[in-house]
Structure 1
Amino acid sequence: MLNAPALPAIRAALARAPTSIVDRPVALDRELLAGTFGLRQAVRPTFYADVPVTAIVGLFHKAFAPDALTWRTLLDGVHGAGWGMDTLAYFESEIGDTHFPAPSAAYPLILRAYGGAVVCVNGMHRLVAGVCWLAAQQGPCAVLKKVELQNYAIKRSAVAVMADAMRRGERVDAAYNKDCQTVLIRVHTERDTRYWRVDGDTVEPVMVPGGWLDALRRRAGRPARVDVGLAWQPVSPTLIGALADDDWLRAQLDQPRYTEQPA
């Protein structure tokens, strides 16, 4: 592509990028709601943070590559028109409110953290390219530096239930209500299903919601009456791992690395 050498350079570098990053699942934000926004407790102030690329699990949209599921396949949909080599320097810099050096780029790169799990709010194309480039340059510990980070405290007791199930190899689903509050967690294997009710930061095991009649309806593939008004979503091991691995965020909340604040 004429006058756009950055994207070919990124694609050429992919061979050096660890598959643990570039082949990592990336979901749409709305597909993660039960395990992210639904578990929110409080909004914290937005600040500049260094964000591990392995913490990033979702994008607000994938309009440029709607069927892509990983950073590698998302990169196939990035056009990179007008991206010079200065865009690579941008990815490696302390980003802050620096304008992305490409035509029609609007607003800073903005990420949002729910516990340790991060989604992209603005700058989808540049983030995809940046993750792939930094993975190739820095390896599994690649970090985006000084990124505007919105962040929510989340219900850690709910995350603990999910993380414990993940360690045992069990599947996890969660349900949110019309207020986008996650209210039920379901953990299951081929032979067993268990439920927890989420109420604030209290998470308690409960009998199968709806009793034996709704249990029969579920086994028959029919909707349970108690599920009316709820939306169930799977909570992937990738998301659970990111939610639980929030040491990088907590350390920077305790001791911010940048005194400057986003506008």
Structure 2
Amino acid sequence: MSEINFGKYIALSSFVHKLNPVSKIFFVIFLIIETFLISNWLYYIIPGTLLVIFMLGSKIRISLYFEDVKKLWFLILIIFLLQFTSGVNLHNLFNAIETVLRIIIIVLLSSIFIRTTRPVELARSVEKGLILIRVRRSLSRDISMTLVLVMQFIPVLLKEINRIRTAQMIRGSKMSRGIFKGLQTVISIMIPLVISTIRRAEQVAIAMESRRYGMYDNTTSYYKSEINLPDVVVIVLSVVLLILPAVLSKLLIK
């Protein structure tokens, strides 16, 4: 936990960062849907190639993306083993590999989106999307604000846990792993963490109240969200990728 960077936005100047969050949401959702519609191993070349292009185009170190996958290794292992509940055979092995491959693609897509999109832009896009599906404007704003606060606070809380743990060790506290001693260790970390979280929540509440959050129904955005030509290309490409497996399957059958 010395380097907390899971799901953290990295500010760089790349074409992926400059894309509108709406177009990136289209790309991520449609590509995830496509991975579940794929029935032939050869079709993974298309989403895999686009995934590599977006990873390289973001100018973020490739190792950071695979660190996000590595942090979910236990979940991936459990899903892999669950595929053999009906027996160990070659068919289940291929199914397990395909399921893990889909999960890795989903994690990498989510990592690209989160690391290249500012939380404020993401929240604003979610708010606009909810308004489009006829959700009340005030409720849409509250949901988007909750989302951005969660995304901002998770790395902060992880870093706070690491700070408290280091402070306890400097004071001579031993971080034991036994059942009872481990419980004491958790309590010694959780109590300062809860107090610190309450203080941060109070500071955020005061800041929001001083800015008169929620007082007006019709609000404006500081950042303008515009759909440019690259965004249109990404959205069209996402739609084409969604229908491509079905078209290729019909052509191969003929």
**Same fold by TM-score greater than 0.5:** no
Larger radius of gyration: 2
TM, length-normalised to structure 1 = 0.24
Larger relative contact order (Cα-Cα within 8 Å, sequence gap ≥ 6) = 2
User: When you count helix as a share of all residues, which structure comes out higher?
Assistant: 2
User: When you count strand as a share of all residues, which structure comes out higher?
Assistant: 1
TM, length-normalised to structure 2 = 0.24
